[in-house]
Amino acid sequence: MDRIKMLALCFLPVVNLLLSFLSCHWAIHTSNRLHRALFFAPFLCFAIFSFIESKHLYFFPALMSLWYQSVALNIVHIASILLVEKCPEPLQGQKSSPWSTSLRSTYRLWSNPRLLPETTTFPTNNKDDSEVREITMFLLRRLSKLALYYFFNTYVIPLFLAQTIGELYPEDVNPAALSAPFLNITARELVVRAWFAIYWIWESVAFLDGANAILASFAVLTGMDKPADWPPLFGHPLEVCGLQNFWSGFWHQLSSRPFKSLAQVVIKTIASTGVDLPLPVSRALLAFIVFLISGLSHTVVSWHLGVRDTLDLQWFLLNFAGCMVERSILSTVRYLAKQVGYTRELSVVERSWLGWMIGYIWLFAFFFWSVPLWKYPRLYEQLMIREWMLIFSRLKLGD
């Protein structure tokens, strides 16, 4: 009986998500602003219920975390297209359309936070050889990614850790050590810091891109989408040069459009009061609000996962500050180069291997310093709990 109850509870977030989708469907397929606002209310309620009830997916922590993040993003995305961007009714002007076509048009908006352009769908039957070949190659690429992520996380990374760091102890990630001067850092501390500065990127990419590969394969296999509807989630790592390019060029842009849309509302509201914001200030404010919303959304997800702190928010705001420092330095260097007539030479250096190396060194240095501020307090707490559990088990065995 308990198992049946647990299974029933697992369906609660799914049912509420479907109800939020239907509410979104009715809101999208009306051009009346009042009706949209009225339908948005039940959408928001059901989406929040789905977010809250995700706690019943505790048996699969990765799925629970992904569900939290996806629903939170979906709320911001739908609020943006309905209330801010006022997206037009998808089938406006068509007197009648099949129910399936209407639902598909809703799905195209509901599941598309980047608002990628819609491609022509494949016919349900009699696909030609080129279409079959395209689907086959797409599935092979996505499934090979999953195999690669599994292989690295299961074999390569544990072996690498065993050969370099070994077992992690509380003193390795003690937050009190973060205030110590860098000159006093030991070789082990350097290795641990360097590992976390890079590993958080791999961990996030493997998790998000792996989930994207699974969803993309399912959508293409079922005929819901075309391979072109699922472009790469992340940019090419070799094209990253600096902190700003990392966030705008390499990192996924799933939340960028709706977050910027909400930020524009704040900027327009300020402008409506008569305050004339210079373009650099307006751009900086836009970036600040986007990082602020990102930090707040991650904090909400972390709180529901049982992590009661504001480290996510603090770290995202640190990244905003880092981007501003980078932009100020680049602007100053370019201005000085222009004054002495070396603009062309500086441009050549920025595009060369030397500029690429400087950008990567700065990016690594920033994460080397900032990621421990974000990760260490949580890891220290987990490792201390592990240490106390070991002590308690030994005392119990001794009895």
Q: What angle do CA 263, 266, 271 make, to 5 degrees?
A: 125
The model carries a pTM of 0.90
- What is the distance between the alpha carbons of residues 93 and 342, in angstroms, rounded to a whole number? 57
Amino acid letter for position 66? L
pLDDT at 63: 87
Please check whether residue 153 is in contact with residue 199, taking contact to mean a CB–CB distance below 8 angstroms. Answer: no
Query: Position of tokens 């441009």?
Result: 347
Residue 396: pLDDT band with limits 50, 70, 90: low
- What is the distance between the alpha carbons of residues 286 and 282, in angstroms, rounded to a whole number? 6
pLDDT at 123: 45
- What is the distance between the alpha carbons of residues 75 and 262, in angstroms, rounded to a whole number? 12
More confident residue, 398 or 80: 80
DSSP state letters, 92-107: TT-S---HHHHHHHHH
Q: Which tokens hold the place of 166?
A: 């070994």
* CA atoms 280, 78, 119, 255: torsion sign: positive
Q: Per residue in 330-382, pLDDT tens?
A: 999 999 999 999 899 889 988 899 999 999 999 999 999 999 999 999 999 98
Residue 33: pLDDT band with limits 50, 70, 90: confident
Mean of the per-residue pLDDT values of the chain? 88
Q: Per residue in 174-214, pLDDT tens?
A: 888 776 666 678 889 999 999 999 999 999 999 999 999 99
Q: Per residue in 122-181, pLDDT tens?
A: 445 556 678 889 999 999 999 999 999 999 999 999 999 999 998 899 988 988 877 666
C-alpha pair distances (Å), 134 with each of 79, 236, 258: 35, 22, 31
For residue 210, the surrounding DSSP H or E stretch is helix 187-221
Percent of the chain topping pLDDT 70? 92
Q: Mean pLDDT across the stretch 44-65?
A: 89
Q: What angle do CA 40, 255, 291 make, to 5 degrees?
A: 110
What 8-state DSSP symbol labels residue 57?
G
pLDDT at 95: 57
CB within 8 Å of 223: residues ≥ 6 apart: 121, 122, 124
Residue 216: pLDDT band with limits 50, 70, 90: very high
Residue 79: pLDDT band with limits 50, 70, 90: very high
